[in-house]
Amino acid sequence: MSNSRTLHPEDQIAQYRVVGPLGAGGMGEVYLAQDQSLERSVALKVLPHELTRSDDRVRRFVQEARSASSLNHPNIVTIYEIGQEPVKSASGDPDSGPLHYISMELISGKTLGAKIHEEKTDLKTLVGYLAQAAEGIAKAHAVGIVHRDLKPGNIMVSDDGYAKVLDFGLAKLTEKSSTAGPLEATEIASQRTVEGAVMGTVSYMAPEQVQGKAVDARSDVFAFGCILYEAATRQRPFLADSNVEIMHKILNERPRPVEELNAECPAELRRVIRRCLAKAPDQRAQSMKDIAIELREIFDEYDSLSASNTSATQTMSTIPAIKKRNVMPLVVVVAAVVIAAIAFGWFGMMRGKQGDHAQPFENMRLSTQTNRGDIADCALSPDGRYIAYVAGRANQHTLRVRQVATGSDVEILPVQDASMEFPSFTPDGNYIYYCKRSADKPNYRVLMSVPSLGGPEQERGFDVDSRLAFSPDGKRACFIRNYPQRSVVALVMQDLASGQQKEIASVPGPGTPLGSPWWSPDGTYIALCIVSAPPRANSVVALFDPETGKRSDFFTRKGAFFLGGLAGMPDGSGIVLAGFDLSATLTNQIFMLSYPEGNLRRLTNDLNTYSNITAGGADAAVSAARTTAISNLYVVDTATGESRALTSTASPENSPVGLAPLGDRVYFSRLHGDFLGAASVPLAGGDATTYETGDGHVQALLAANGTILLWRITTDQQMHIWRMEPSGSIKQLTKGGGERLLRMSPDGKWFTYVVTDSTRGVWIMPTDGGEGRLVSAAAQQGVGSFSPDSKEVITIEYEVDEKGFARTVFKVMPIEGGAAVATLRLPPRGDDWSGVPGTRSVSFIDAADPNRNVYSADVDNAAVPRKVTQFTEGILRGHEWSPDGKQLAVVRRLGTDENVWVMNRDGSKPRQLTNFTGLTIQNIDWADDSRRLVTNAGQLSVDVVLIRNLK
C-alpha cells in the first residue's frame, strides 16, 4: 500500500512537510502534514497523479475546495488554503509535476461511523452530534451548496465533542442547472472496487440521485435520514449484496421499521427519520435547519420522551394584507431597517464534556406549543402555566388559551372580522387584555378585556399601540401611544378601575420605541426599548419612573445593532430583548440583558424569525411566535396558463426576497455570503445570476423601463439608493444622512424616497442622478407612488375630522412641482391602493367588504367608488394591474390556500392562474409584456414556542 501512495514522510509540497498518511478515498488522499510557515499541523488532501488524467475528477476536486472554502461554520471543517504545487521528494527522486491540494483543519477524533459501530455510543449522544452536523449542512445549503455524499464517514466528532462535516468532493452549487447523468450513480459507486463490499456512498443516495435526476438540498435530507436510521438501529436502512440491489431498494422499498430494531428509540426521532426518508423530494422534510431544530428538542427532552407516542410539541416550519410591488417580503422593514424576530439557537450542547463548569443558558429547552401555522400574537401568563394567543389570517382572528402542562387548548373568543393584537394576562391571571381595530375607526386600536377562561368582551380604553405592562398590584397599566402627526410616542398610564389615563413621558423623534413596555416586579421602573435608525443608529433600554416619568438610560448599544421586543424576567434579574446585528445577520435573535449589571448575552442563533416575546413562571420561561418561511419565484403565462418555477430553494436562508421583473429577467434579493445581495433569473428559466453589490444588504429592488434601483444598508449604517445596470455595476444616487426608497415612475425616469433623519415628507429625484426635491412635507413616509403616465406623484396625508379622528387623504401632485391638482378621500378601510393604467383612477381593496373586493375611484370625481371584482367567497389580499391596463391580477385566499386570479379590466371573466396548495403569496408583479406574471410564494408558518430554563 505504501508504494502506491502519492506522498511519503518528509516530502514537501509548498510550505507543507508530510508527516504520514491519514486515509484515502475516491476523491483523493489525506496526509498529516506540518505547515512550516505557521507551525501548525494540518490535514493535507491531494489528488494523485493517476487521477489527474480525468478532467472530471480534477473539476470535482477544485469544486470541493471552492465549495468548502466558502463556508465558515463551527460544524464544518475549516479550509486553510487551496493550491497546486510540485512535490519535492525527500528520497532525492526528481520533483514531480504539480499536484492539486487542500490544506484543512486537522481534527483529532473519530468518525461518526466509528462512534456508531465501534464505540457503541448511546443514541442520545449520537443525536447531539447529528444535531450539530445538521447545523453545518444547513449552513452549506444556505449558500447554495449541496453535499451529495453525506455518510457517517464524512462526519467527524472531535475529542472535545464537536461534530464536523467533511468532504464536499461531490458538492454541487444549486445555482447551476447541471444535473447528474443516469450513469453517475454507477460511476460514484465504482470509485471503490473491493469485491463484495457494500458501497457506503450508494447506501445513502436519494432516489432522485440514483435515477440521475436533478439533485438539491432535499437529497442531502434523505442521506441524513439514512445516517439517523443507522444511528438509531446500528445498521443501514438499505442492505443488499450488490450496489444494483441497494439502488433497487432505495427506489422501491421502505426500510425495516426502526422500532423493530430498537424498541427504545423515541417516537419523536422515528418521526424525523420517516420524514427524511420519504421517496418523493416534496414529501420530505424541506429544510435541514428544521431538522436541526427538531434534533435539538429531542436531545434536550430525550430523557422524558416516550418510545410509543410522539409529543404534542412538533417543530413546524401570517402576514398582513399584501402591499404594492415590495409586497411584505420575508424580511420585514421596521424603523427603516429590516427587523425580524428570533428562532431558538443552540451552542455548545456537548460542551459539558469539556469541563465541570456550568455554562450560562446551557440547560435551555425549547418546545413548540402550537402547530397551526397562523399565529398572529401570543403571551405567557405570569405563572408560566398558560399561553394566550391570537390565531387566524387576513384579520379573521380568534383568541385562544393553551395550558402548557396538559396541552389542552380552548377558544376564548370566536373568529371575528377584526385584527386582534397584544394579548397580555393581568398579574392575577384572571383576565386577558388585548387590542383590536374597530370597523368605524380602523386607524385606532381599542383596548379590550375578557376573562381568561372565557366570557363577554369589555371595552377598556382607546388608542393603544402596544401590549400592556401591569403594575405589580394589578391596579394600573401602561402602554405606548403613537402620535405620527407630531412624531412623538407617549408612555401612557391607565387606572384600570376608573379607566382614567395620563401621559407620564414622551419620546420625540428620531428615536422610536420598539415593542412594548415592561413594569419591574418591584414596581420601581418601567423599561422601554428605544431605537434610532441609521445613520445615527443606537438602541437604548430606558427606565422610566412610574410616578414622575423621569427617564434614565440603563443600557445603550451603538452601531448597526438593533434591539426591541422587550420583556422582563419575573424575578427582575434580567430583561429579554429581540435584536439583530446588521453586520452579521438579518434576523433577530433573543438576547438577555442582566439587571442591574447590564451585561448583554446572546441566547439564540437562527434564521427563522420570532416575535412577541413575553416571560413568566418560576423557571424563567419565555414565549415567542416563531416564523418559518421558505419561498420561491414562479412565472405564469396568462394566455396559456403555463407555469414554471424559476428558483428551487428548500431553505429559508436562500429564499428570494421581493421581485422586480425587467425585460426578460426578474430581479430579487437573496442571501449571498453574509449579506442580502442582488440577483436575477431569466423569465424563460435557467441559471441565476448574482451581482456583487458589496458589503451590506440590498433591502429592496425596483425596476421599470430599463432602470434598476436598489436600496442598500451597509455595515457602516449608511442607507442610500443606488442605480444598478444590467451588467451589475452600481452607482450611488442619494448621499444624504440616510434615505429609503419608495417607488419608481413607470417610465423609469424618477423615484421617490424619504430621508430617514426626518419623520415625514416625500422626496423625488431623477433616476440618472441629480438633486432631490421635497414633494410634500406633510406626506407620510410610506407612500410616494406615481400616476400610470409618470406625470404625477400621489402622496398620502392625514387629516383630522371634526371628532378628532385621523383619516387618510390622497394628494395628486405634479411631478415637476406645484400645488396638489386633486384630493382623493378613500373609504375609511381602503387599503392596497394603486393607479389604474390608462385612466385617472385609483383602485383599492376595501376591507369593509366581507370578501375585500377591489374598487376604483376617479381622481377628479371620487364620490362613488365603483366595484371592480365581484367575489362572494374567500378574501382578496392584493391586486396588481398589467402594464397595458387590460388585465387585473389579484391574490385570493380560499380556505388555507392562496392563489393568483386574473381577469379583464372590468373584472369580468376571472380565472385561477396558479394552483398552489398551502402556500402564502408574498409578491406579485407583471412582466413588461403584460402577458407573464411573476409571483414569490412559499411556506410561511407561525407558531408559539416556549423556551425554558434561562436561569
Q: Which pLDDT value is given to residue 766?
A: 96
Mean pLDDT score, 855-866: 81
pLDDT recorded at residue 191: 34
95 in active site: no
Residue 560: predicted pLDDT: 62
Which of the four pLDDT bands, split at 50, 70 and 90, describes residue 637? very high
**Predicted confidence (pLDDT) per residue in 301-312, tens digit:** 888 786 655 433
Q: What is the pLDDT at residue 5?
A: 72
How sure is the predictor about 345, in pLDDT bands with cuts at 50, 70 and 90?
very low
pLDDT at 500: 94
Most confident option among 53-57, 179-183, 677-681, 777-781 = 677-681
pLDDT at site 538: 81
Q: Residue 414: pLDDT above 90?
A: yes
Which pLDDT belongs to residue 880? 95
Per-residue pLDDT, averaged over 760-785, amounts to 82
Phi, psi of 571 (to 5 degrees): -95, 5
Query: Looking at the whole model, is its pTM more than 0.75?
Result: no
545-560 mean pLDDT: 89
DSSP calls for 601-647 = EE----SSEEEEEEEETTTTEEEEEEEEEEEEEEEEETTT--EEES-
The closest alpha carbon to 307, from 274, 352, 366, 264, belongs to: 264
Q: Which residue has the cell 467533511?
A: 166
Of residues 578 and 548, which shows the higher confidence score? 548
Q: DSSP string spanning 380-391? A: E-TTSSEEEEEE
Q: Are 580 and 588 in contact (CB under 8 A)?
A: yes
Which pLDDT tens digit goes with each residue over 23-48? 776 567 889 999 888 778 888 988 76
- pLDDT higher than 70, residue 356: no
Using alpha carbons, list the distances in angstroms from residue 160 to 38, 103, 352: 23, 22, 9
pLDDT at site 189: 35
CB 604 within 8 A of CB 589: yes
Residue of higher predicted confidence among 249 and 74: 249
Give yes or no for residue 183 having a pLDDT over 50.
no
pLDDT digits 0-9 by tens, 107-116: 888 899 999 9
Q: Active-site residue among 11, 35, 122, 149?
A: 149
950 or 376: whose pLDDT is higher?
A: 376
Reported as a single tens digit per residue, the pLDDT across 110-147 is 899 999 999 999 999 999 999 999 999 988 887 778 88
Reported confidence tier of residue 221, pLDDT bands at 50, 70, 90: very high
- Sorted by sequence, the CB contacts under 8 Å of residue 467 that are 6+ apart come out as 379, 422, 423, 424, 479, 516, 614
Q: What value does the mean pLDDT take over residues 845-856? A: 90
Q: What is the dihedral of CA 356, 359, 363, 364, to 10 degrees?
A: -170
Q: CA-to-CA distance for 54 and 49, rounded, in angstroms?
A: 10
**Mean of the per-residue pLDDT values of the chain:** 81
Which pLDDT belongs to residue 590? 81
- Cell 509535476 locates to 97
The arithmetic mean of pLDDT across residues 607-614, rounded, is 82
Average pLDDT over residues 503-515: 81
For residue range 683-734, list pLDDT tens digits in order.
999 989 999 888 778 888 999 999 999 998 876 667 899 999 988 899 999 9
Residue 186: pLDDT band with limits 50, 70, 90: very low
Which pLDDT score, from 0 to 100, does residue 605 have?
67
Q: Is residue 806's pLDDT more than 80?
A: no
Task: Output the pLDDT for position 4.
Answer: 63
The full DSSP string for 774-843 is EEESSS-TT--EE-TTSSEEEEEEEEE-TTS-EEEEEEEEETT--S-SEEE---TTEEEEEEPTTSSEEE
pLDDT band at 852 (very low <50, low <70, confident <90, very high): very high
Selected residue with higher pLDDT from 359 and 609: 609
**Do 765 and 751 contact (CB within 8 A), yes or no?**
yes
Q: What is the pLDDT of residue 512?
A: 75
The CA-based angle 406-409-412, given to 5 degrees, is 140
